[in-house]
Each structure stands twice: as structure tokens, then as C-alpha cells.
A and B are shown apart, each in its own frame.
Chain A
Amino acid sequence: MSELIVAILLLTGASFMILASVGILRLPDLPTRMHASTKAGAMGAMMTMAGVAMHFGDVVVFTRAFAIVIFILITAPIAAHVIGRAGYFLGTPLWEGTVKDELKDNYDEKTHSLYSGFEPAPESVIPPTHKKRDEDDEI
């Protein structure tokens, strides 16, 4: 029974990794490729680790597998975010099927400042209410 569960976990993990690499090849633009590659890959690694921990059934292996999963969960979103952000601001064209882009109008290419669309006046970028709340948080 446990052999079967281990086999299922390992196979689904491996197929998620295959789908991640197929996604890099097939998907049309950089952000959608990041969707497929980093997250499905992380998911595949997580399931593989779960299978490994289950197969050995040992505390030492379990804690190592747990640590590996935690480190993957910490690093994967940061890598995806940094690559996606760099690609977007360098002007990589989005796929023509993209339905909307709410960032483009709020980004100033000359000063590299990014507005939220909630600014009360053009001079002050940080609204006073928000600034006050931040200071409260630190206390």
C-alpha cells in the first residue's frame, strides 16, 4: 500500500516537472512562462520529496525533506518575482492575447517611479494617512 502511494507521489511529481519544461517551450511570453516553470517545478519537487520521506519512513530523512521543501518554497517565488519584474520593466513584449495591463499607465519611464493611482496630489507620492499608519506599526 505504501509502495503504491510512494509510486503515485513520485510519478505525479515527475509529471509536474515535465509539464513545467513543456510550459517553457510552449507558452508565448515571459510572465506566463514564469507561471509554468517555477511553480509547477516547485510543486513537482515537493511531491518527490514527500514520496522520498514516505519511502524511508525515517525521522532524519523526514526532517531533511521538510527542510528542502521549505527552502524551495522560500526561493521559488523570489526567483519568479525577480525574473518577471526584470523582464517586464526591460520592455519584453507581452503576448498579443493579453487582455489588460494596469501597470503600464502608472509607470514613469523617466523617473522609474511606480504610482498606485490613489495619489491625492501629484507632488506628494506618499499619502499622509498611510505614512502615519506605518509609524504606528513600528512602535
Chain B
Amino acid sequence: MIGFFWNVTLALAWVALSGSFTAWNLLAGLIFGYLALMVLQKHVPALKGYSRRLPRLVSFSLFFIKELFKANFRVAYDVATPVWYMKPGVIAFEMEAHSDAEIMFLSSFISLTPGTLSLDVSDDRRVLYIHAMFLQDEEQLRKDLKELEFRILKIMR
């Protein structure tokens, strides 16, 4: 987070110093700031691993869009056809995420994919209760959720 703050600050400095206030120049400033932080991150502990996050973020976005389409078509198919293929149920999912921000992102992304809806977190914050629409293959569902969680934590940590 501190790395992103510095990236934006460097971009604003670039815009101010080069004197042209356009969106493209701001984008150029962001790219140059990113490159500068990439060089700096070895020497500043607070910035450690900052430049690694962008490729991870891009790969996560692509993965998430793919999952979103797949799951949406599945739900849409069940809504559009007269017979119910769904087997809904509430499952307890043990989380690796611990801080507030991690749990928030994890539960939001789980809610965002159709077919899974996060209901509540247990009081000791170890388990997330999820309403799932397709419980035909619970093992597979848990594996998919674990993969989603692993990818989110790789960006956050």
C-alpha cells in the first residue's frame, strides 16, 4: 500500500515537473514511478516486493474474469432451464486469511463469483460460512475456493 502511495506521488511529481496535465502524461508518470520503485525496492524494506505485485494482479484479474464467466453461465443455465440441477447448501470454509483487509477481499471475491455467497465469519475468524449453489462436487468447490484464496493472499502479502 505504501508502495502504491509513492508510485502515485512520483507520478504527480512527474506531471508537475513536465508541466503537461494530461491523462497520458499521468500514465507515463505512473510507469516511470513504477520503474523507479522497481530499482529502489531492494534497498528499502517497506517497498519489498512491490514490483512483483503488478504481474500477479494482472494474472489474478484474468483468472477472475474467466471464473466469473464460467460461473455466470452455469447459474444462467440453471435459471433458464425448467429442471433444477442445483444442490444448494451452506459449507464452512477454513480460511488462511487473518487480517481484516484479507478477510474483506476474500469474502467479497467469493460473493462476486456466482454460485457462492459468503454469509458470515465465525467469531474467532477462522471459518467463513459460504452458501454454495452447486454442491454436487464439494471437494472440487473447496479446491477452487482454496485456489482463489491463494491467489488473493499472494497479492495482499
- B139 located at the interface, meaning its Cβ lies under 8 Å from any Cβ of chain A in the complex: no
Residue pair B112, A40 in contact (C-beta under 8 Å)? no
Chain A residue nearest in CB terms to B95: A116
Within 8 A of B (CB), among A1-56: 16, 19, 22-23, 26-29, 31-32, 34-36, 39-40, 42-43
- Count of A residues near B, CB < 8 Å? 56
Residue pair B124, A23 in contact (C-beta under 8 Å)? no
Within 8 A of A (CB), among B9-43: 23
Q: Which residues of B contact A29 (CB under 8 A)?
A: 88
Residue pair A99, B87 in contact (C-beta under 8 Å)? yes
Shortest Cβ distance from B113 into chain A, in angstroms?
A: 7
Interface SS of chain B: mixed
Q: Which residues of A contact B84 (CB under 8 A)?
A: 28, 97
Residue pair A77, B75 in contact (C-beta under 8 Å)? no
Residue pair B90, A102 in contact (C-beta under 8 Å)? yes
Chain B residue nearest in CB terms to A24: B79
- A130 located at the interface, meaning its Cβ lies under 8 Å from any Cβ of chain B in the complex: yes
Residue pair B114, A39 in contact (C-beta under 8 Å)? yes
* Bound form: Cα–Cα A106–B121 in Å: 11
The 5 closest A-B pairs by CB, nearest first: A77-B111, A116-B122, A116-B127, A39-B114, A100-B89
Could you pull out 25 A-B pairs where Cβ atoms are within 8 angstroms? A16-B76, A22-B80, A29-B88, A31-B119, A35-B115, A35-B131, A40-B79, A73-B112, A77-B110, A78-B108, A78-B111, A81-B111, A94-B88, A98-B90, A99-B89, A102-B89, A103-B90, A103-B129, A104-B90, A114-B121, A115-B122, A116-B126, A118-B124, A130-B124, A138-B99
